[in-house]
Structure 1
Amino acid sequence: MKKSRWEKFKDGCKKVGEWCKEHWKELVIGAICIVIGAVLTVLTGGSFLAALGIGFKAAAMAGFISGGISVMSSLIVSIFSGDSFKTILEKGLRSFVDGFASGFMWGGIFAGGAQTISAILKFSRSGTLIFGGEQLQLFKPNNFSSKTLGKIKIWPPNGLNNLNSGGTLFKTRKNFQIGF
């Protein structure tokens, strides 16, 4: 007996619900990291919605890339195992959605982490937090300087007028630095 469209739709919704039940932790971890980064961005004068949108976009892109890589590896294994076409499609779809969940989580962790580090760097060079539109000056920016270990400067602040978000974590000489 053929299933009606409504029954097929219900079955599809049930599968989506089961997938969400299996992967809710990864999705929530990624989302929480993004929200934390967006909140910290707001405290240093940035836009919550822009930071949130950029974070979720980065996490979704990481999810799609991870899902695509998972599909490719699954397809290769299935083809060499001699699986039927239907089995290959089922395994490919399953590996994509599993890979997407993992990629979304890691993308959210890295996006939220980058926003957090950027907010910390901005705060360290301005000394100002923003609450409800009011600026709270916690320290004077000229009191902040980097720490030096030999020839390595740790956390050298960018100029206060630098409009780029992020900053430098550490640098050696003029040619080499790592930052956001």
Structure 2
Amino acid sequence: MNLKEKIRVIPDFPEPGIRFKDITTLLQDGEAFKYAIDQMAQFAQERRADLIAGPEARGFVLAAPLAYATGLGFIPIRKAGKLPGETVSVAYELEYGKDKLEIHRDAIRPGQRVVIADDLLATGGTISSTIKLVEELGGVVVGLAFMIELTYLPGREKLQGYDVFTLVQY
């Protein structure tokens, strides 16, 4: 299935010169969404993952159904102040400022194999922070699964040493 045909590209959003890759059109297509999750599930199963993690918010849209499809637990990586229990956090740089991600301190046991899923690999900032959180808890990141990769940005370069899987590349 050609998933690229299912993704709407919106010019000049959120600012002039940006060609925004909108996955909502793919998510609306049940057959395409199922195919995408099935492909990511195969990747996770081949890596013998114990858990699936996903960063807020669009990572939830892929990681939660991926966890369901594989019969594995889902670990939400949230923005600061959103998790009720004891957390571990990491700050990271955004294009226009800083942000912070958090994970529950007891979300991952040392040695558990984790696949991290997100919608987009661009500069690698969010996913690098997510990796740090998983590894700080003793988790072993065995794979990174993305719906889209922007190959003209340095995201993959920041992820040297990690197994990266993408469904669509621009």
Q: TM-score range by the shorter chain?
A: under 0.3
- Determine which structure has greater relative contact order: mean sequence separation of CA pairs < 8 Å that are 6+ residues apart, divided by chain length: 1
Which structure has the larger Rg over C-alpha atoms?
1
Q: Which one has a larger percent strand, Structure 1 or Structure 2?
A: 2
Q: Which one has a larger percent helix, Structure 1 or Structure 2?
A: 1
